């Protein structure tokens, strides 16, 4: 039997959240020393299991706080689950929080190598793709400027260009299919669609059920950290639309 692109088995993720609201650092330190700092467990995901075959496109639906982004970060390797296992077979291009890993005091050039390293790319590989990255993001005039001087759109463009400078087998897309101004949006959409056409495996999070229906074969629906439905994209989107009407 062929290995799946992604297999998630009994995955749970819990975070510790402060039980009381603390308004300042002084109060926080006092509570730490007096051992009066209390936490409560927040289960972002509970007992999640599903399988994505190579070449499939899986839509991930759910209202805000359902656990969608946490799930994608676990699959991308940004975080480790509290329990359960995740098996990924293939090179991943994660389009998650583009530019979130940048160091504001480093130049765009330095961040290309830094961001690439956080995504698992070797320095040699980034050097080979550097000109392609720079040409795609269209930030030649700013590349030696610290990214703290970049606009949010420019940061996203640079992050997108680095993240897609690989021939991925698995593409993880959170919410947004494009970044930047209208012209760059068209350019980035074309690049993602080109990846789709090559038969990559896709995990796609969106509240737009029309997009999920058109782009995905299957879908799962999360609610309060649990899968409450999985099946064809059409059937799961129909259920999500019905739930949306009742909100």
Does residue 82 lie in a domain region?
A: yes
- Span 164-189, average pLDDT: 77
Residue 154: name the closest of 175, 166, 168, 136 by CA: 136
CA pair distance 26, 227, nearest whole angstrom? 41
Averaged pLDDT score across all residues of the chain: 85
Q: Average pLDDT for residues 99-108, to the nearest whole number?
A: 86
Q: How many domains does the chain have?
A: 1
pLDDT at 18: 58
For residue 75, the model assigns a pLDDT of 92
Q: What is the band of 38 on the pLDDT scale with cuts at 50, 70, 90? A: low
Residue 81 lies in a domain: yes
Residue 1 is assigned to a structural domain of this protein: no
Question: How far apart are the C-alpha atoms of 116 and 160, rounded to whole Å?
Answer: 11
Instruction: Answer whether residue 163 is part of any domain.
Output: yes
Residue 62 has pLDDT above 70, yes or no: yes
Angle at 165 between CA 160 and CA 167, to 5 degrees: 125
| pLDDT at residue 32, rounded to an integer | 59
Question: Is-contact 158 110, C-beta < 8 A?
Answer: no
Do residues 135 and 141 touch, judged by C-beta distance below 8 A? no
**122: domain range?**
6-246
- Pairing assessment for the beta strands 218-223 and 226-232 based on DSSP bridges: antiparallel
Q: CATH number, domain at 184?
A: 3.40.50.300
- Reported as a pLDDT band with limits 50, 70 and 90, residue 246 is confident
Task: Report the SS3 class of residue 100.
Answer: coil
Helix ranges, 98-232 (H): 108-118, 123-137, 152-163, 182-197, 209-215
Q: Mean pLDDT throughout 155-178?
A: 81
DSSP 83: E
Q: Decide if 136 is inside a domain.
A: yes
Query: pLDDT: is 228 or 77 the higher one?
Result: 228
Q: Return the higher-pLDDT residue of 181 and 241.
A: 241
The residue to which tokens 């940061």 are assigned: 155
Where in the chain does DSSP place strands (E)?
6-18, 39-52, 57-61, 83-88, 92-95, 170-174, 201-205, 218-223, 226-232
Question: What is the per-residue pLDDT across 106-151, written as a single tens digit (0 to 9) for each?
Answer: 999 999 998 888 777 889 989 999 999 999 999 999 999 999 999 8
Residue 195 lies in a domain: yes
Judged against a pLDDT cut of 70, whether residue 25 lies above it is answered with: no
Res. 35 pLDDT band, cuts 50 70 90: low
175 token code pair? 């919410």
**Structure confidence at residue 30 (pLDDT):** 62
pLDDT above 60: residue 19: no
Does residue 85 fall inside a structural domain? yes
Residue 105 has φ and ψ, to the nearest 5°, of -90, -10
Q: Is 188 a domain residue?
A: yes
């Amino acid at each position: 039997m062929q290995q799946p692109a992604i297999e998630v088995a009994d995955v749970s993720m819990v975070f510790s959240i402060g039980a009381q609201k603390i308004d300042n650092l002084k109060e926080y330190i006092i509570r730490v020393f007096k051992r009066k700092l209390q936490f409560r467990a927040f289960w972002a995901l509970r007992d999640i299991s599903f399988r994505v075959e190579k070449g499939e496109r899986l839509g991930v639906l759910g209202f805000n706080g359902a656990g969608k982004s946490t799930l994608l970060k676990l699959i991308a390797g940004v975080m480790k689950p509290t329990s359960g296992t995740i098996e990924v077979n293939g090179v991943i291009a994660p389009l998650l929080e583009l530019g979130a890993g940048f160091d504001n005091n480093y130049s765009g050039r330095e961040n290309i190598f830094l961001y690439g390293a956080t995504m698992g790319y070797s320095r040699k590989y980034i050097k080979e793709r550097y000109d392609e990255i720079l040409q795609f993001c269209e930030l030649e005039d700013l590349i030696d400027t610290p990214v703290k001087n970049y606009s949010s759109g420019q940061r996203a463009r640079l992050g997108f260009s680095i993240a897609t400078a690989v021939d991925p087998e698995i593409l993880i897309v959170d919410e947004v299919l494009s970044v930047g101004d209208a012209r760059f949006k068209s350019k980035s959409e074309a690049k993602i669609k080109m990846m789709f056409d090559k038969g990559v495996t896709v995990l796609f999070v969106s509240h737009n059920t029309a997009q999920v229906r058109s782009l995905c074969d299957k879908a799962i629906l999360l609610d309060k950290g649990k899968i409450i439905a999985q099946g064809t994209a059409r059937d799961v989107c129909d259920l999500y639309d019905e739930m949306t009407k009742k909100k």
